[in-house]
């Protein structure tokens, strides 16, 4: 049987990561609508195709951003007719700065059907390695509201270290919100 090339930029045992496309709008927004209770009040991914097109467009077109969909890998031995590879979540690298800084700020979210299954941990690990490999970044930072226990647990599980606290850092859901700053560097990943 001929080998079918992967659509993924990187793969783990259960997930692969790939860039956003405009064609993902229907699935992404359906997953976002299903996940409103999980995301509120931390995150508000686009839940209409029109909003998705604007959101994805920024990730696709803007060189200071890189968006990745975390997709479940198709089951071993699956044929082209076998469903699989659905979107489990997303990880975006925002505010990419090149030159001597070589850093970016991560934002991420799991969809409800994938929450608690370890898929986002695997996906975030893949994005971190991709950022420190092909993207040649040196540092990644995650800013998390202190009450978002699931997001903090994911940052910690992926090797990020708490660096500090930023009061009233981001305007989210109608108010300026405090955030914890978590970070990781390329040396931590390659030596750890």
**Please, are residues 108 and 154 in contact by the beta-carbon 8 Å criterion?**
yes
Q: List, for residues 43-71, the tens digit of each pLDDT value.
A: 999 999 999 999 999 999 999 999 999 99
In the three-class reduction of DSSP (H, G, I as helix; E, B as strand; rest coil), residue 57 is classed as helix
Q: List, for residues 12-25, the tens digit of each pLDDT value.
A: 999 999 999 999 99
Q: pTM of this prediction? A: 0.90
Q: Please count the CA atoms within 13 angstroms of the CA of 73 that sit on its side-chain side.
A: 17
How many other CB atoms are there within 10 angstroms of residue 150's CB atom?
A: 14
The pairing of beta strand 103-110 with beta strand 87-97: antiparallel
Residue 104 has pLDDT above 80, yes or no: yes
Q: Please count the CA atoms within 13 angstroms of the CA of 85 that sit on its side-chain side.
A: 15
Q: Is the dihedral of CA 89, 106, 49, 43 positive or negative?
A: positive
Q: Is the dihedral of CA 2, 19, 100, 159 positive or negative?
A: negative
């Amino acid at each position: 049987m001929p080998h079918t090339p992967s659509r993924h930029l990187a793969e783990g045992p259960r997930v692969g990561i790939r860039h956003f496309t405009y064609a993902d709008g229907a699935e992404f927004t359906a997953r976002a609508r299903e996940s409103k209770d999980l995301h509120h009040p931390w995150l508000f991914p686009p839940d209409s195709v029109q909003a998705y097109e604007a959101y994805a467009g920024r990730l696709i077109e803007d060189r200071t951003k890189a968006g990745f969909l975390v997709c479940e890998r198709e089951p071993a031995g699956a044929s082209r007719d076998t469903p699989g590879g659905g979107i489990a979540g997303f990880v975006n690298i925002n505010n990419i700065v090149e030159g001597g800084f070589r850093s970016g700020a991560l934002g991420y979210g799991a969809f409800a059907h994938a929450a608690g299954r370890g898929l986002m941990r695997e996906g975030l690990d893949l994005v971190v390695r991709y950022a420190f490999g092909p993207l040649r970044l040196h540092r990644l930072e995650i800013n998390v509201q202190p009450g978002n226990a699931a997001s903090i647990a994911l940052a910690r599980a992926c090797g990020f270290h708490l660096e500090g606290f930023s009061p009233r850092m981001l305007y989210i859901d109608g108010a300026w919100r405090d955030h914890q700053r978590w970070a990781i560097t390329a040396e931590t990943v390659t030596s750890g």
